Amino acid sequence: MPAFSALGQRARPPTIARLMSLALDNPRLLSLAAGFTDNRTLPVAAVKTAVDALAAQPAAPEWLQYGANQGRPRLRELLATRLVAQDPGLDPNATASGLFITNGSQQALYLAMQVLGDPGDIVLVDRPSYFVFLELLTGLGITARSLPVDAAGKLDTAALGALLAGMKTRGEFKRLKAVYFVSYYSNPSGRSLDTAEKNALAATLTAHGATVPVIEDAAYRELWFARPPAAAGVLALPAWEKFPRLYLSTLTKPFASGLKVGWGVCTDAGWLARMLHTKGHHDFGTANFNQAICEQALATGGLDAQLAVSRPAYARKMRALHETLLAAGLPVLGWSWREAEGGLYLWLEAPAALDTGLDSAFCRACVEAGVLYVPGELCFGDEVPKNFIRLSYGVLAEPELAEAGRRFAGVAAKFGYGEDSGGSSTGTGLGGAAKSSR
């Protein structure tokens, strides 16, 4: 056995990989777990058109050659133009020069934290938060601390003030390295932050001298159903001007997940440079071919055409799952959730006494009934409740979603309010390594 580094020793199997392999190994299982996009609506024609156009170019095929570490200049310009259209007031040139392309926005999240945080440092995260980011922090030895929220899930500024004051008293404040939140149709909660909430967060942090780097994860901003979100991004809000800001987005959700092209805009030259140096160490550039396909799709309207198909498709799928759960009587059993207005997820709150964790009898019963979900316990930086569940409607077709919803509701009905739901797993549950890594 090699002598592993501290980072190597901390590494744990990502929970999502385990959930995915469980679904792949068991074809009868209907997975509401993975945050995959819909295979049936992926943009085959737009990708073919893009590749044909590239192949027809008379010039040497530079798109099959290594590209620039920061990303293809034209793609960066096109993405900057698209962002300026969403956040008017941004300077197109500054936006393009701070914009970099990554291997999915996941790589950008890793780069951001790799250059900011050391083991023992602290990051404030939304509550609930994107669990792969939380696992990433654990892997780097960084502690997540939740931004306090009220019963409606809105930021509680007074509690945040108290949290920051407490960190000062305990000598932890200097270890606070960043603030992270998913701002549009969040994974997992489906919630969006409105402009007032973003401004209140900035004001509270500023009032406590915590103008630390902020990471706004806008992965789902383009996946709205009825109308685009009204809230501006942090790059466009004066309340955030004093903060080093990193706005992250991706083409994996709105266009083609398999191309794995993500992007970020960083306002701080030093932070950007260090992320790019580190990206150079990772891969010295995201796959140029994949970027070139995205570039074509943006330049010729392929991305917008794809969104015109996928937005209503996801809205229908969300409704199919939502209505099945309603019809099956989950609210009567004490479950609650909000219909999503975009994104890929329903976030369910179960009765308080029902343990839905990876090791729970409930989770085991769902797998036995042939349905898989993401336990909400994975999505909290601290003070972890056991009675939340994330359901994704991205992958399954509507009839399968309805069947999965019925299977899920059937198990929920058997467990009732959860008082007698049984204790922890006897070893056949899904828990283990990933849970102990948190």
Ligand X SMILES: Cc1ncc(COP(=O)(O)O)c(C=O)c1O
Can you state the percent helix, strand and coil of the chain, rounding each to 5? 45, 15, 40
Report the interface residues with ligand X, using CB under 6 A.
35, 104-106, 130, 182, 187, 217, 219, 250, 252, 262
Smallest Cα–Cα separation from 347: which of 123, 124, 138, 35? 35
Structural Rg of the chain based on CA atoms = 22
Is the bond preceding residue 13 a cis peptide, omega within 30 degrees?
no
Q: Give min distance, CB of 395 to ligand X, in A.
A: 12
Looking at beta carbons only, is 108 or 361 nearer to ligand X?
Answer: 108
> What's the CA gap between 61 and 46, in Å, rounded?
19
Smallest separation, CB 161 to ligand X (Å)? 27
CB of 248 within 8 A of CB of 262? yes
| CB 262, min distance to ligand X, A | 4
Q: Which is nearer to ligand X, 252 or 288 (CB)?
A: 252
**Helix, strand, or coil (residue 117):** coil
Residue 20: CB minimum distance to ligand X, A? 12
Beta-carbon-side half-sphere exposure of residue 88 (alpha carbons within 13 Å): 1
β-strand pairing of 261-266 with 245-250: antiparallel
Kindly tell me which of 343 and 418 has the beta carbon lying closer to ligand X.
343
User: Measured from the CB of residue 53, what is the shortest distance to ligand X in angstroms?
Assistant: 24
Nearer to ligand X by C-beta: 121 or 217? 217
Q: Shortest gap between Cβ of 233 and ligand X (angstroms)?
A: 14
Question: Is residue 99 classed as helix, strand or coil in its secondary structure?
Answer: strand
Decide whether 262 or 418 has the Cβ nearer to ligand X: 262
Place of tokens 């004001």: 203
Burial of 313 (0-12, 13-18, 19+ CB in 10 A): middle
Nearer of residues 287 and 333 to ligand X, judged by Cβ = 287
CB of 138 to ligand X, least distance (A): 16
Cβ proximity to ligand X: between 143 and 187 the closer is 187
Tokens of 336: 């609650």
Which C-beta is closer to ligand X: that of 261 or that of 366? 261
| Closest-approach residue to ligand X (CB) | 104
Cis amide linkage into residue 188, ω under 30° from 0? yes
Nearest partner of 409 among 391, 397, 427, judged by Cα: 391
Write down the least CB distance from residue 80 to ligand X, Å.
Answer: 18
